[in-house]
Amino acid sequence: MCKTYCFILTSVILLQGKATGGPVRMGYEYMPEEDAWLRLHIEPAIWPDARLRCHLEGGALASPTTSAMTKALVAMLAANKMTMRHAYIGVHALLSKGEFMSMEGIPMGNLSARWREGEPNNMKNEEDCVVLDGAGEAIDVSCSTPRPYFCRKESTRMIVNKCGTTADGYKLEPRTGSCYKFHLVPRTWHRAAMACQAEGGHLAVINSNKEAQALKDIFGEHPITSIKGGNVLEANVGIWDWNEHGEWLTIFGQTLSEAGYEGWRHNEPNNVEKEFCGAIDRDGYLNNCPCDRFALFICEVTPK
């Protein structure tokens, strides 16, 4: 088992800067047999959130598609001293009850991993997701229990760009020295923050009038008529009240004055409808908004 894992780690060292064109994305390790990268998220998440996180990172929940993949997943559990624990894989029966398949649509019977004896048992008729144990066996479980999980990314998604991230869509802004990405898929404020972090960045934090103007210009590149879904007049950025409902800070804990920009829209913040998260409007002004409102958002990455 150690042999397989050591081979994977050796490949990471040899291929850094070659297969990726720069630093390896945090936590991912190269698997030469599959020409793919794997990551074991040890921070537990429910299956839907695990699926989303892998997707936001540019990959998918990993499935034991081959014997080499199964060995690699088991080896990662062992290397993290998790042989007695389980981790979510990309196998589920969410589309059709009892019909387990991988994220790629491969039926369970055609995958490398086999069911543990007595599984699947669909306890309480609510076990539609699957975990892999330290012996490489599959167990059906409830999707709503937080567990560690595996992500897989193809090599073509691991090229590090000039902004220092593997995520597409980031552009360098000379006025600020940061890279920004305008997300056209609306998400709630916290989901937006999750998306930015998965891409190696964070919700944009405005540190000057110059940066506010830069974000206003980025917003202006996307006219209202080109946007479908969500709030089209504002975009989520990196300020909120940290659930204190009164004091507005950046996601890094600075006051807006310390950060360098306090350009609120007239009569804002007013907290009319439990508006505890922050956004920027098309004129470059800040506004408070409900955290669960679906809106566009802007991510920021500092080039490395």
pLDDT tens, 256-281?
999 999 999 998 888 777 899 999 99
Q: Is the pLDDT assigned to residue 6 strictly greater than 80?
A: no
Q: What is the mean pLDDT of residues 99-124?
A: 96
User: In the prediction, which pLDDT does 102 show?
Assistant: 97
Q: What is the mean pLDDT of residues 276-288?
A: 95
Same domain assignment for residues 71 and 116: yes
Same domain assignment for residues 241 and 285: yes
List C-alpha distances in Å: 73 to 100, 104, 151, 287.
19, 17, 10, 45
Q: Is the pLDDT assigned to residue 15 strictly greater than 50?
A: no
The Cα–Cα gap between 151 and 58 comes to: 9
The Cα–Cα gap between 18 and 241 comes to: 43
Same domain assignment for residues 152 and 17: yes
List C-alpha distances in Å: 178 to 25, 190, 206.
19, 22, 11
Same domain assignment for residues 132 and 237: no
Q: pTM of the entire structure?
A: 0.84
User: In the prediction, which pLDDT does 214 show?
Assistant: 97
Same domain assignment for residues 151 and 6: yes
DSSP per position, 11-63? HHHHHTTTTSSSSPPTT-EEETTTTEEEEEEEEEE-HHHHHHHHHHTTSEE--
The Cα–Cα gap between 35 and 178 comes to: 32
What share of the chain in percent tops pLDDT 70?
91
User: In the prediction, which pLDDT does 16 show?
Assistant: 36
The Cα–Cα gap between 128 and 200 comes to: 31
Same domain assignment for residues 26 and 143: yes
Same domain assignment for residues 172 and 271: yes
Cα angle value 139/142/144 (rounded, 5°): 135
Report pLDDT digits (tens) over 58-105: 999 999 999 999 999 999 999 998 867 899 999 999 999 999 999 999
Q: What is the CA radius of gyration of the chain?
A: 22
Give the start-end residues of each E strand in the chain.
29-31, 36-45, 60-61, 87-92, 101-102, 114-115, 129-132, 137-141, 147-154, 171-173, 178-187, 202-203, 231-240, 249-250, 277-281, 286-289, 295-301
Q: What is the mean pLDDT of residues 187-215?
A: 96
- Which tokens is 88 given? 């979510």
Three-class SS of residue 155?
A: helix
Same domain assignment for residues 138 and 166: no
User: In the prediction, which pLDDT does 190 show?
Assistant: 97
Same domain assignment for residues 123 and 242: no
CATH number at residue 294: 3.10.100.10
Same domain assignment for residues 40 and 82: yes
Q: Is the pLDDT assigned to residue 1 strictly greater than 50?
A: no
Under a CB-based contact definition with an 8 Å cutoff, are residues 60 and 151 in contact?
yes
Same domain assignment for residues 169 and 139: no
Q: What integer best gives the mean pLDDT of the chain? A: 89
Domain that holds residue 96: 2-156
Picking from 156, 185, 205, the residue at the C-terminal end of a domain is 156
User: In the prediction, which pLDDT does 25 show?
Assistant: 52
Three-class SS of residue 72?
A: helix
What share of the chain in percent tops pLDDT 90?
77
User: In the prediction, which pLDDT does 140 show?
Assistant: 98
Picking from 129, 156, 183, the residue at the C-terminal end of a domain is 156
Report pLDDT digits (tens) over 130-175: 999 999 999 999 999 999 999 999 988 888 899 989 999 999 999 9
- Which tokens is 238 given? 């990196």
User: In the prediction, which pLDDT does 8 show?
Assistant: 40
226 band by pLDDT with thresholds 50, 70 and 90: confident
The bridge status of strand 114-115 relative to strand 286-289 is: unpaired
Task: Report the candidate in 219, 218, 261, 217 with the shortest Cα–Cα distance to residue 239.
Answer: 261
Q: What is the mean pLDDT of residues 210-238?
A: 91
Please give the tally of structural domains in the chain: 2
Report pLDDT digits (tens) over 20-40: 333 345 789 999 988 999 999
Same domain assignment for residues 141 and 180: no
Picking from 156, 184, 200, the residue at the C-terminal end of a domain is 156
